């Protein structure tokens, strides 16, 4: 695994895309501050007008190679969970050890 987690945002020219960028940046700060997990963000602007963005599947947010959301801004908990899922997968961690935020009843 790289020294950091890659999060990619494919963003259109709409409010949902701006919100997706904001959420991902907040997750980046949270993961660095609370867990010491470095996150690198790439925002790729796709020149699709706001009214056509959702139909084009924008915004789309990926954590490494996993799609977290498409056509709408993600929940921060979904992005965090995807990061921890990637770490679990990469280091073959099972059971306890890493938090799971978006699970009902946790």
The pLDDT value given to residue 19: 97
Q: What is the mean pLDDT of residues 2-6?
A: 86
* CA distances to 9, 49, 51, 80, 105 from 63, in Å: 9, 25, 26, 9, 24
| pLDDT single digits (tens) 35-87 | 999 999 999 999 988 788 888 999 999 999 999 999 999 999 999 999 999 98
The pLDDT value given to residue 50: 78
| Domain ranges, residue 73 | 5-91
Q: Is the pLDDT reported for residue 97 higher than 70?
A: no
Domain assignment present for residue 31? The answer is yes
Q: What is the mean pLDDT of residues 16-24?
A: 97
Confidence label for 18 from pLDDT (cuts 50, 70 and 90): very high
Domain assignment present for residue 35? The answer is yes
Domain assignment present for residue 102? The answer is no
Domain assignment present for residue 99? The answer is no
Provide the domain count of the chain.
1
Domain assignment present for residue 100? The answer is no
Domain assignment present for residue 38? The answer is yes
More confident residue, 99 or 43: 43
Domain assignment present for residue 48? The answer is yes
| CATH code of the domain containing 17 | 3.40.30.10
Task: Report the alpha-carbon distance of residue 25 to residue 45 in Å, rounded.
Answer: 16
Contacts of 55 (CB under 8 A, 6+ apart): 71
């Amino acid at each position: 695994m790289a020294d950091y987690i890659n999060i990619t945002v494919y963003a259109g020219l709409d409010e949902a895309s701006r919100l997706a960028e904001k959420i991902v940046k907040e997750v980046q700060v949270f993961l660095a501050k609370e867990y010491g997990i470095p996150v690198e963000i790439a925002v790729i602007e796709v020149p699709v007008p706001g009214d056509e963005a959702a139909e084009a599947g924008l915004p789309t947010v990926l954590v490494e190679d996993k799609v977290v959301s498409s056509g709408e801004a993600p929940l921060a908990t979904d992005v965090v969970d995807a990061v921890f899922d990637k770490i679990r997968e990469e280091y073959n961690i099972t059971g306890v050890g890493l938090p799971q935020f978006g699970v009902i009843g946790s």
